[in-house]
Structure 1
């Protein structure tokens, strides 16, 4: 029998995986601007191909690892889902998992681009409640560029920051 969290999150995982895949070329362009790397369509094609190959080859393992991270978070913080899907968790933990799989495959640039895609998606969520914080975005992208995002924000600190900003703004509209 499968884990209920796994069953609940599978369709959302697949939906967000498509978002990450479709957003990657746009994020690559932004990443080259931030890092000062010359935008190169050949390099973009390679990053896209490597990314798609990685997720196609490891799709089920990525899903299982993402589900495990969500379950660990739920258990560590004694959080019980209340029948709804927390898209922030899916976005954050999927990006984090994708990033680590890409890093293991030697795809550092793709890994950093996926993390910047995550920030872009989370920023869009914040705009829904008028809570976007450009300075947070800028500093987070700098941490991604420098390869120290989770060293500085911890395992779940960035997730909690975005989620709390969202909830606070939503409750005070």
Structure 2
């Protein structure tokens, strides 16, 4: 089974990518195959609401999203993370979410996948829960099965995420919860 980690940060090597790397390291340690999408390495243009994907089973915009479509479908679970930008996820990850509509319009291809959300903000209460909620809303719209960290909404850290011991515990717990649910699905 495969877990896809998505970092919605335009900054390479930053807090959000560190959170995804930690989550995927845990998944690998538990025997899962992993893959990742780093927005910092992919230019994904915003959806133009042209409607072409209603008729065709593809988006007419050819950019970094082209490879992401297959990765989303191939994954059994998706862990999506974003830094908080003015109280919500980045425009870059929102573009990915909007462009994934082709999977909804053609047989709900992401339905019943496990989904988990993570966010990093500038302070302990820096908009992380609202950002996680937006990510989870995207997952709900696709019909995914959402898990948290076992007691709350998901992985929530403040920057610098690797120095936030309390926050990184929620990242670890979220990754383990995703793995636990996938293990249950194997039985």
TM-score by length of 1: 0.33
Q: Which has the higher strand share?
A: 2
Q: TM-score, normalised by structure 2?
A: 0.31
